[in-house]
Amino acid sequence: MDFLTVVFPISGVQTNIFLPPLVAMVISFFTSMGGISGAFLLLPFQMSVLNYTAPSVSGTNHVFNIVAIPSGVYRFIKEGRMAWPLTWVVVAGTLPGVFLGYYIRVFYLPEPGTFKFFVGCVLLYIGIRLLKDLLGSPKVKTGASSIEKRFKTRADEIRKAQCAKIASGIPAEAVVKTISTNLKKIEYEFWGECFSFSTPGMFFLALVVGIIGGAYGIGGGSIIAPFCVTVFRLPVYTIAGAALMGTFITSVAGGIFFSVMPSVGEMSAMPDWPLGILFGLGGFVGMYLGARAQKFIPQKFIKAMLSVIIVFLAGKYIVQYF
């Protein structure tokens, strides 16, 4: 064992000290652009590469989210692309779901094989939603599709004016402005377009996502984000910050909950905090850079990349179960 190799007593993981933060940084850089922390890809890495399959791996993912997400959220707030009403509805729904998810994970999904199948189903759902959104062309024109066209047009104009290969398509004045908030519907404006969603609909979606996310250790953002884009037709530029904030708050609750709950038999759900923090440090850097770079990279490229990775991992875990 060389001096760069460390052993984490709680999880039993033995790895090079630079590997966890490096992997987390790369994953978070890309996923944070879509409002996803990257925990949903970090979990398969821990299970398949680091052989960390105990129930506590879910809690360790929550620790990663706690450490990594604040930098991305800060960036979205600073640039005025945080939809606060959406954030609080998502938090209100996912927070109670985290606690239900804990019991599902510990009491009904303790074995690695069963849990991997569960992970595969979640990933397959996410991948299908992203692929459908990427390949499908909505017949009805929406504000989100209008913003996509304006983004491309503005990027082309700036690229020609500056003779640059990469240019931002979102002007500094394009910020999220709340129009109205009530128990039935929430409306906000972004870049001259109005967007709205059903408050009860978003709440109940968040509740279901919270249950899944609590068991999976992802906070739910990786399901909420594509759902907001594909079903509620909200632009990714406005939902990314909200999804990350919701994931952060629910992960704080999940991390604490997994830490204080008693063990079930010989299985402990105690997160490996040192390993989770090491992942989180890499994610902190990657998420900040990803949130900042979001307006420089076409959404279709990000969605295509995530779709391929997610569907591949989903297929792998579902097949191994049978």
Token pair in block for residue 225: 């984000």
Task: Name which of 1-5, 98-102, 145-149 the model is least confident about.
Answer: 145-149
At residue 223, the pLDDT reads 76
Residue indicated by tokens 């979606």? 205
Query: How far, CA to CA in Å, does 143 sit from each of 82, 189, 194?
Result: 17, 10, 7
**What sign does the CA torsion over 92, 234, 178, 240 have?**
positive
pLDDT value of residue 232:
87
Pick the more confident residue, 23 or 158. Answer: 23
Q: What is the 3-state secondary structure (H, E, C) of the chain?
A: CCCCEEEECCCCEEEECCHHHHHHHHHHHHHHHHCCCCHHHHHHHHHHCCCCCCCHHHHHHHHHHHHHHHHHHHHHHHCCCCCHHHHHHHHHHHHHHHHHHHHHHHHHCCCHHHHHHHHHHHHHHHHHHHHHHHHCCCCCCCHHHHHHHHHHHHHHHHHHHHCCCCCCCCCCCCCEEEEEECCCEEEEEECCEEEEEEHHHHHHHHHHHHHHHHHHCCCCHHHHHHHHHHCCCCCHHHHHHHHHHHHHHHHHHHHHHHHHCCCECCECCCCCHHHHHHHHHHHHHHHHHHHHHHHHCCHHHHHHHHHHHHHHHHHHHHHHHC
Q: Exposed (0-12), middle (13-18) or buried (19+): which is 166, by Cβ within 10 Å?
A: exposed
Residue 217 carries which side chain, given as an amino acid letter?
G
For 181, phi then psi, to 5°, come to: -140, 125
Q: Of the given ranges (71-75, 87-91, 222-226), which has the lowest mean pLDDT?
A: 222-226
Report yes or no: 65 and 220 within 8 Å, Cβ to Cβ. no
* Residue extents of the structural domains in the chain: 14-138+194-321
pLDDT in tens, 92-134: 888 888 778 777 777 776 666 777 787 788 778 878 877 877 7
- Please tell me the distance from the alpha carbon of residue 170 to that of residue 186, in angstroms, as a whole number: 23
Amino acid at 3: F
Return d(Cα 252, Cα 255) in angstroms, integer: 5
User: Where is average pLDDT lowest: 26-40, 99-113, 182-196, 266-280?
Assistant: 99-113
Provide the pLDDT for residue 165: 46
- pLDDT(158) > 60: no
Mean pLDDT of 193-212: 89
Mean pLDDT over 198-217 rounds to: 83
Return the pLDDT at 316: 78
For 68, the token pair is 């990594």
Does residue 166 register a pLDDT over 50?
Answer: no
What are phi and psi for residue 77, nearest 5 degrees?
-65, -45
* Encoded tokens for 241: 């910050």
Q: What was the pLDDT predicted at 75?
A: 92
